[in-house]
Amino acid sequence: MHPAGTSVSRFVLIPGAGGAAWYWSRVVPLLQYAGHEAVAVDLPGNDDSAGLPEYTRLVLEAVGGVHDTVLVAQSLGGFTAPLVCERAPVRELVLVNAMIPVPGETPGAWWDNTGWAAAQRAAAAAHGYSPEFDADTYFLHDIPPEVLAEGSDRPTESDAVFASVCDFTGWPDIPTRVLTGEADRFFPMDFQRRVARERLGTEPDVLPGGHLLALANPDGVAGYLLRH
């Protein structure tokens, strides 16, 4: 329950590729139990006609002009976050294992621009798993089986969004935190640290868990979000 005399925040949570609000299904109830509002946004990830403008519109609808909004973005959601922040009264931004864009970048160009492939291969060699991508190795390796069973119908992401330009002027002048999964194999921890330093001048915080951190460690993520 929410402690007496403290304010209620509205958390709006953006999923990553595929756009399924289900990604946040373990975190939303924990935020609500703590007395806050929390809504995870479903995005049309498999819609070939939808890109960052459509994603931004849907997230803005979820924010609804509420001034005490904490915006939380996972992975690909990092490209939608700055577009929302320029148009909504966001109080705080939290990026979770997120792609961090620069103005004018597309999600498709981000991979080469950040040197992701070399970082991913180096981490695979250092930690002894295959450099060849498969979902079990890179996304699902630390997710409990009962959680995987609930999300067995995972949507795919259309190529459309990867060609969308992230047309923002600069990262917002609001409190911004970056959260990194210590065992993220897709965006390795050292890679995330470098990108956050270079693009935001921010040192990430670290929690146990992989790329799908909110499913692997929901208590840790919720606790982190509540420390604001």
**Domain of residue 90, CATH code:** 3.40.50.1820
pLDDT over 60 at 228, yes or no: yes
Q: How many domains does the chain have?
A: 1
**How far from the centroid of its chain's Cα atoms is residue 170's Cα?**
18
d(CA 145, CA 224): 24
The whole-angstrom separation of Cα 30 and Cα 32 is: 5
Tokens at 154, concatenated? 């995972």
Q: What is the pLDDT of residues 48-93, one digit of tens each?
A: 888 999 999 999 999 997 888 999 999 999 999 999 999 999 999 9
Which residues lie closer than 8 Å to 193 by C-beta, 6 or more apart?
A: 180, 203, 204
Provide the mean pLDDT of the chain.
93
In the chain, what percentage of residues exceed pLDDT 90?
A: 82
Name the residue among 84, 33, 76 with its Cα closest to residue 58. Answer: 84
Distance between CA 161 and CA 140 in Å, rounded? 23
- Residue range(s) defining the domain that contains residue 205: 10-226
Q: What is the mean pLDDT of residues 121-131?
A: 96
Instruction: Establish if 132 belongs to a structural domain.
Output: yes
- With a pLDDT cut of 70, the percent of the chain lying above it is 95
What average pLDDT score do residues 4-28 get? 87
